[in-house]
Amino acid sequence: MSSPIEENICFDKVPSVSPQEAKMLLDKDKDYVLLDVRTKMEYDKWRIEEAKLYSLDTLMKTYKELDRSKKYLVICLSGGRSACATYALRQLGFEAFNIKGGMLEWPYETIGSFDDL
């Protein structure tokens, strides 16, 4: 997990979208893919159905599996890890956007709940 200092650096360097903007993009444009960068345990207990798990801890090993023609909306619990993942993906040439506030701000249907964590 990133330190607060690393998270602040990442936040300043990545474009972000609100959960509402992210949902609209996912619903209207099939070129957008939702990446969840939390741990497998977090993902298994509470997730957005269409989210693909690419844990931040393993993202640098697995990013080659990602389709470079897609655009990525990146989410975590509160926005810190996803900001760092978004920063890393953009440095690697992917079009990626952080979802502000993460799962805690996602107002739409999910599988499981925060209480399950």
pLDDT at 11: 62
Helix (H) or strand (E) holding 89: helix 80-91
CB 74: neighbour CB atoms within 10 A? Answer: 34
Q: How many domains does the chain have?
A: 1
Mean pLDDT of the chain: 92
Q: What is the CA radius of gyration of the chain?
A: 13
Q: Is residue 34 part of a domain?
A: yes
Tokens 């739409």, residue located: 108
Q: Is residue 117 part of a domain?
A: no
pTM value is: 0.90
Q: What is the pLDDT of residues 13-68, one digit of tens each?
A: 799 999 999 999 999 999 999 999 999 999 999 999 999 999 999 999 999 999 99
Q: Is residue 21 part of a domain?
A: yes
pLDDT at 10: 63
pLDDT at 51: 98
Domain encompassing residue 36: 4-108
Q: Is residue 113 part of a domain?
A: no
Does the pLDDT value for residue 1 go beyond 60?
no
Q: How confident is the model at residue 73 (pLDDT cuts 50, 70, 90)?
A: very high
Q: Is residue 115 part of a domain?
A: no
Q: Which CATH number belongs to the domain containing residue 64 in this structure? A: 3.40.250.10
